[in-house]
Amino acid sequence: MGFLDIRNVTKSYGSVEVLHRVDISAEEGEFLVLVGPSGCGKSTLLNMIAGLEAISSGDIAINGRVVNGVHPSKRNIAMVFQSYALYPNMTVGQNITFGLEMHGVPKPERDKALAQVAKLLQIDHLLDRKPAQLSGGQRQRVAMGRALVRNPDVFLFDEPLSNLDAKLRVDMRTEIKKLHQRLGRTIVYVTHDQIEAMTLSTRIAVMNKGYVQQFGTPKEIYDTPSNLFVASFMGSPSMNLIPAKVAVENGAPHVVVMDAEGQARLLRLSQPALSAWSGREIVLGVRPEAITDPEGADRKSLNVQPLKNRVTVTEPAGSDTFVTTTLGGKDIIARMRADASVSPGEVFDFAVNMDKAVAFDPVTENRIA
Amino acid sequence: MSTISQEAVVVRPAAPVPSQDTAVRTSRVARTFIYLVLLLFALFYLLPFAIMVINSVKPLSEITGGNMLALPQDWTIAPWLSAWSTAQIGVEPTGLRPYFLNSILMVVPAVAISTILGALNGYVLTKWRFRGDTILFGLMLFACFIPFQIVLIPMARMLGLMGLAGSTPGLILVHVVYGLGFTTLYFRNYYAAFPTELVRAAMMDGAGFFRIFWRIMLPVSGPIAVVSVIWQFTNIWNDFLFGASFADLDSMPMTVGLNNLVNSSTGVKEYNVHFAGAILAALPTLLVYIVAGRYFVRGLMAGSVKG
Point out the residue among B211, B219, B220 whose CB comes nearest to the CB of A102: B211
User: Is there a single domain that holds both residue B50 and residue B124?
Assistant: no
What pLDDT score was predicted for residue A241? 93
Average pLDDT in the B46-72 region? 83
Chain B residues within an 8 Å CB radius of A81? 197, 200-201
Q: Is the dihedral of CA A180, A186, A190, A196 positive or negative?
A: positive
Chain B residues within an 8 Å CB radius of A85? 195, 197-198, 200-201
CB contact under 8 A, B207 and A72: no
**Confidence check on the interface: ipTM exceeds 0.85, yes or no:** no
CB contact under 8 A, A89 and B204: no
CB contact under 8 A, A102 and B197: no
What pLDDT score was predicted for residue B305? 39
Chain A residues within an 8 Å CB radius of B204? 50-52, 72-73, 77-79, 99
Last residue of a domain, one of B79, B109, B125: B79
Q: Are B83 and B280 in contact (CB under 8 A)?
A: yes
The 10 Å Cβ neighbour count of residue A304 is 20
CB contact under 8 A, B216 and A89: yes
What pLDDT score was predicted for residue B300? 57
CB contact under 8 A, A52 and B200: yes
The pLDDT of residue B266 is above 80: no
Mean pLDDT taken over chain A: 89
Residue B274 inside a domain? The answer is: yes
Residue B2 inside a domain? The answer is: no
User: Is there a single domain that holds both residue B237 and residue B177?
Assistant: yes
Nearest residue of chain B to residue A98 (CA atoms)? B205
Q: Which residues of A touch B (CB under 8 A)?
A: 50-52, 72-73, 77-79, 81-83, 85-89, 98-99, 102-103, 146, 150
CB contact under 8 A, A87 and B197: no
Chain A residues within an 8 Å CB radius of B131? none
Average pLDDT in the A343-360 region? 91
CA of A171 vs chain B CAs: smallest distance (Å): 25
CB contact under 8 A, A99 and B204: yes
User: Is there a single domain that holds both residue B46 and residue B191?
Assistant: no
Per-residue pLDDT tens for B277-296? Answer: 888 888 888 888 888 777 76
What pLDDT score was predicted for residue A228? 93
Q: Are A277 and A367 in contact (CB under 8 A)?
A: no
pLDDT-derived band of residue B1, with 50, 70 and 90 as boundaries?
Answer: very low
The pLDDT of residue A183 is above 90: no
CB contact under 8 A, A87 and B203: no
pLDDT-derived band of residue A359, with 50, 70 and 90 as boundaries?
Answer: very high
Which 3-state string (H, E, C) describes A229-294?
HHHHHCCCCCCEEEEEEEEEECCEEEEEEECCCCCEEEEECCCHHHHHHCCCEEEEEECHHHEECH
Which carries the bigger pLDDT value, residue A2 or residue B190?
Answer: B190
Residue type, A363: V
Total residues belonging to chain A: 369
What pLDDT score was predicted for residue A212? 92
Average pLDDT in the B228-249 region? 88
What pLDDT score was predicted for residue B265? 62
Per-residue pLDDT tens for A260-286? Answer: 888 888 889 998 888 888 889 999 999
Average pLDDT in the A312-325 region? 91
- CA angle, residues A361, A367, A368, in degrees to nearest 5: 75
CB contact under 8 A, A85 and B207: no
What pLDDT score was predicted for residue A283? 93
Within 8 A by CB and 6+ apart from B194, the residues are B126, B127, B217, B220
What CATH number should be reported for the domain holding residue B297?
1.10.3720.10
CA of B21 vs chain A CAs: smallest distance (Å): 25
What pLDDT score was predicted for residue B138? 87
User: Is there a single domain that holds both residue B57 and residue B170?
Assistant: no
The 10 Å Cβ neighbour count of residue B75 is 9
The pLDDT of residue B303 is above 50: no
Q: Which residues of B touch A (CB under 8 A)?
A: 195, 197-198, 200-207, 211, 215-216, 219-220
Q: Which CATH superfamily is domain A240-360 in?
A: Nucleic acid-binding proteins (2.40.50.140)
The pLDDT of residue B142 is above 90: no
CB contact under 8 A, B220 and A78: no
User: Is there a single domain that holds both residue B199 and residue B253?
Assistant: yes
Q: Are A62 and A74 in contact (CB under 8 A)?
A: no
Quick one: DSSP state of residue B74? S
Domain containing B62 equals: 9-79
Residue B92 inside a domain? The answer is: no
CB contact under 8 A, B207 and A146: no
CA of A147 vs chain B CAs: smallest distance (Å): 9
Count how many domains chain B has: 2
CA of A242 vs chain B CAs: smallest distance (Å): 44
CATH code for the structural domain at A4-233: 3.40.50.300
Query: Where do the structural domains in chain A lie, given as residue ranges?
Result: 4-233, 240-360
Q: Are B134 and B124 in contact (CB under 8 A)?
A: no
Quick one: DSSP state of residue A350? E
Would you list the DSSP string of B213-231? IIIIIGGG-HHHHHHHHHH
Side-chain half-sphere exposure of B131, counting CA atoms within 13 A:
1
CA-nearest of A28, A33, A39, A37 to A4 is A28
- Give CA torsion, residues B279, B284, B285, B286, to 10 deg: 60
Q: What's the rounded Cα separation, in Å, for the pair B292 and B166?
A: 32
The pLDDT of residue B219 is above 90: no
- CA angle, residues A206, A207, A212, in degrees to nearest 5: 90
Residue B4 inside a domain? The answer is: no
Per-residue pLDDT tens for A193-211? Answer: 888 999 999 999 999 999 9
Within 8 A by CB and 6+ apart from A84, the residues are A131, A139, A140, A142, A143, A160, A163
CA-nearest of B70, B103, B60, B74 to B273 is B60
Average pLDDT in the B1-8 region? 42
User: Is there a single domain that holds both residue B225 and residue B131?
Assistant: yes
Q: Are strands A186-191 and A154-158 parallel, antiparallel or unpaired?
A: parallel
pLDDT-derived band of residue B23, with 50, 70 and 90 as boundaries?
Answer: low
Q: What's the rounded Cα separation, in Å, for the pair B44 and A160?
A: 59
Point out the residue among A52, A73, A82 whose CB comes nearest to the CB of B205: A73
CA of A205 vs chain B CAs: smallest distance (Å): 24
Chain B residues within an 8 Å CB radius of A83? 195, 197
User: Is there a single domain that holds both residue B55 and residue B168?
Assistant: no
The Cα-based distances of B213 to A98, B119, B206, B232 in angstroms read 14, 9, 13, 21
CB contact under 8 A, B216 and A87: yes
CB contact under 8 A, A146 and B205: yes
CB contact under 8 A, A102 and B204: no
Average pLDDT in the B185-204 region? 88
- CA angle, residues A57, A63, A67, in degrees to nearest 5: 35
Three-class SS of residue B132?
coil
Which carries the bigger pLDDT value, residue B143 or residue A242?
Answer: A242
User: Is there a single domain that holds both residue B216 and residue B284?
Assistant: yes
CB contact under 8 A, B204 and A77: yes
The pLDDT of residue B37 is above 90: yes
User: Is there a single domain that holds both residue B183 and residue B279?
Assistant: yes
The pLDDT of residue B27 is above 70: yes
What pLDDT score was predicted for residue A278? 87
Per-residue pLDDT tens for A69-98? Answer: 888 888 888 899 888 888 888 889 999 999
Sheet holding A347-353, edge to edge: A291-292, A347-353, A304-316, A320-327, A330-337
Per-residue pLDDT tens for B61-74? Answer: 777 777 777 787 88
φ, ψ for residue A70 (rounded to 5)?
-80, 135
- CA angle, residues B26, B28, B29, in degrees to nearest 5: 100
User: Is there a single domain that holds both residue B272 and residue B185?
Assistant: yes
Q: How far is CA A317 from the centre of its chain?
A: 23
Chain A residues within an 8 Å CB radius of B129? none
The pLDDT of residue A127 is above 50: yes
User: Is there a single domain that holds both residue B166 and residue B248?
Assistant: yes
Residue B140 inside a domain? The answer is: yes
Q: What's the rounded Cα separation, in Å, for the pair B169 and B194?
A: 34
User: Is there a single domain that holds both residue B54 and residue B127?
Assistant: no
Residue B235 inside a domain? The answer is: yes
The 10 Å Cβ neighbour count of residue B17 is 6
Per-residue pLDDT tens for A8-17? Answer: 999 998 888 8
Residue B233 inside a domain? The answer is: yes
What pLDDT score was predicted for residue A179? 87
Residue B124 inside a domain? The answer is: yes
